A and B are shown apart, each in its own frame.
Chain A
Amino acid sequence: AQTVTQSQPEMSVQEAETVTLSCTYDTSESDYYLFWYKQPPSRQMILVIRQEAYKQQNATENRFSVNFQKAAKSFSLKISDSQLGDAAMYFCAYRGVKTSYDKVIFGPGTSLSVIP
């Protein structure tokens, strides 16, 4: 079965600095999608970034970028120029392409604090 691990329960970053959140996953599939979701105190889950495993190029969305290492099964999220609004829980998630069941598997989350 596929699993997603986030080894950092809590992280903090100074405003305007850069922070990297770690994520590893376990799968026997060769084709899949990876996601990072943000959950602010409002509880709303927001899709931050998405990566297709068959693409070697790392995805970027403005200040958010990923470092996708397929062989290592690692998918870290880098937040540049951190802002107070980035404070939230961040969840790494996985979805296999050929998986029989159409569902996304989430990691346990990393709580990010931004220090003014």
Chain B
Amino acid sequence: NAGVMQNPRHLVRRRGQEARLRCSPMKGHSHVYWYRQLPEEGLKFMVYLQKENIIDESGMPKERFSAEFPKEGPSILRIQQVVRGDSAAYFCASSYRSALYGYTFGSGTRLTVV
């Protein structure tokens, strides 16, 4: 049973380009969470999704960032017109029902904006 799969593991984008980060949750998990980790900092919540629905996006910047979790396929975190400040590790986590039992995390995508 594969864990949470994130790709790519590393992503380099020039300022102004778009970044698309993918996350496939564990089999049977319908809850997906995205977190951002800046250097030397902890994880900051961005968005919580269930299939085809955004449940909580209170941690996501209002502009340039969007997330989806379609009926078929992985969850996508999309960052448009990236800036240097977007450089961070982005982690996806999934859970079966809710976060009460703890998440299963992916290995993260390290985004570097040059």
- Taking beta carbons and an 8 Å cutoff, which residues of A are in contact with B? 33, 35, 37, 42-47, 50, 91, 95, 97, 101-109
Known: A42-B107, A43-B107, A43-B108. A103 touches B45 (CB 8 A): yes
Q: Chain B residue with minimal CB distance to A52?
A: B100
Q: Which of B35-92 contact A (CB under 8 A)?
A: 35, 41-45, 48, 55-56, 58-59, 89, 91
Q: How far is the CA of A92 from the CA of B31 in the complex (A)?
A: 21
Known: A43-B89, A91-B43, A109-B42. A104 touches B103 (CB 8 A): yes
- The B interface, classified by DSSP as helix, strand, loop or mixed, is strand
Q: Residues of B within 8 Å of A, CB-based: how many?
A: 27
B28 located at the interface, meaning its Cβ lies under 8 Å from any Cβ of chain A in the complex: no
Which A residues are CB-close (under 8 A) to B99? Answer: 95, 102-104
Which A residues are CB-close (under 8 A) to B93? Answer: 45
Which A residues are CB-close (under 8 A) to B107? Answer: 42-44
